[in-house]
Structure formats: C-alpha cells, structure tokens
Amino acid sequence: MPGLEDLYREIILDHHRNPRNRGELPPPAPHAVGHNPLCGDEIDVYLQVEGDVVTDVKVGGQGCSISQSSASMMSQAIKGKSVPEVRALVRRFKGMMSIPDEDGNPIEPDPDVKLGDLEALQGVVKFPVRIKCATLSWNTLLEALAQA
Ligand code: ZN
C-alpha cells in the first residue's frame, strides 16, 4: 500500500503534468504577475469575478514543479468560491506553510476551510526555500483580487 508521502508526491506530479485552468483571460479581467527570483518561477493569475464570486480563473507562467503544481491546485480550489471564502483559503494555506499573519502571529488552522489536494503541499514546509515557490501563486492571486 502506498504511503501518504507517495500519494502526496503523486498529486503534485499530476498537477505538474496536467495543470488545471491553464491560459489567460482578456482584459479587463483582473491580472497579476508574480516572480520568485530565488527559483526563477513566474506565475500569471487572471480572474473573472462576478458579484462576490470567482467564476473563472486562468493561470500562466513557468517554473519548478512546486510552483506550478501549487498554482494548478490553487486555481482548482478557488473556482466558484466567494471572495471571502477565497481569502479564508489563502489564509489557511499560508498557515499550513507556517507563514504568520499580518501581525506576526501564527495562523491557527480553521477546520471549516478544507484544503483538499492542497494538503499534498504540506511537506514543503520542511524546505524553507521552497515555501516561496508554493506561495507564489497565492500572493499573485491576492494581487489580482485587489484589482477585482
Ligand atoms: Zn520554485
């Protein structure tokens, strides 16, 4: 029986090989570009927000498997969610990555916010240099949301 580590590795590889929601959305769709110079990762995030709901998301860019898998999982996880739900998910994900909140305090996991496939990235927290790879698309998402 495959262990949890194998399952997680398989999920990450699957999102890397078959990235979800690849592409772009035409202007005036909110769009942000993120760079992680430490690793050379680039992520484009395009949103379509109607009322209070993220009705579509497209992701472009290139980089390491962690950055691209995280972007793919992010796009899958946020599509169809309300903006407050998306913000709660960003917070939950950053908490999993041991990133403190705005005041520098640890983020307590909210049991109501489900991570799904994103749990596969929890092992990244053991490799601090890769945390920037995993969180790049999430920070880029926040920038795009700020334009919505
Ligand atoms: Zn990277």
Q: How far is the CA of 19 from the centre of ligand 1 (A)?
A: 15
* Separation of CA 51 and ligand 1 centre (Å): 34
CATH 3.40.350.10 for the 4-147 domain, yes or no: no
* Alpha-carbon span 32 to 27, nearest angstrom: 12
The alpha-helical segments, DSSP class H, found in 2-127 are 4-17, 65-78, 83-96
pLDDT at 96: 95
Query: How many whole angstroms from 8 Cα to the centroid of ligand 1?
Result: 17
Render pLDDT for 37-57 as a digit per residue (tens, 0 to 9). 999 999 999 999 999 999 999
> How do residues 12-45 score in pLDDT, each as one tens digit?
999 999 999 999 999 999 999 999 999 999 999 9
Q: Where are the domains of the chain?
A: 4-147
| 111 has a pLDDT exceeding 80 | yes
Mean pLDDT of 68-87: 98
- The answer to whether 68 and 61 are in contact (CB under 8 A) is yes
- pTM for the complete prediction? 0.95
Helix (H/G/I), strand (E/B), else coil: 87: helix
For residue 138, the CA-to-ligand 1 centroid distance in Å is 13
Whole-number Å distance, alpha carbon 146 to ligand 1 midpoint, is 24
Query: What pLDDT is recorded for position 6?
Result: 87
- What pLDDT score does 3 carry? 80
Q: What is the pLDDT of residue 71?
A: 98
Across all residues in the chain, what is the average pLDDT?
A: 95
Distance 26 CA to ligand 1 centre (A): 27
What distance in angstroms lies between residue 53's CA and the mean position of ligand 1's atoms?
29
CA of 129 from ligand 1 middle (Å) equals 8
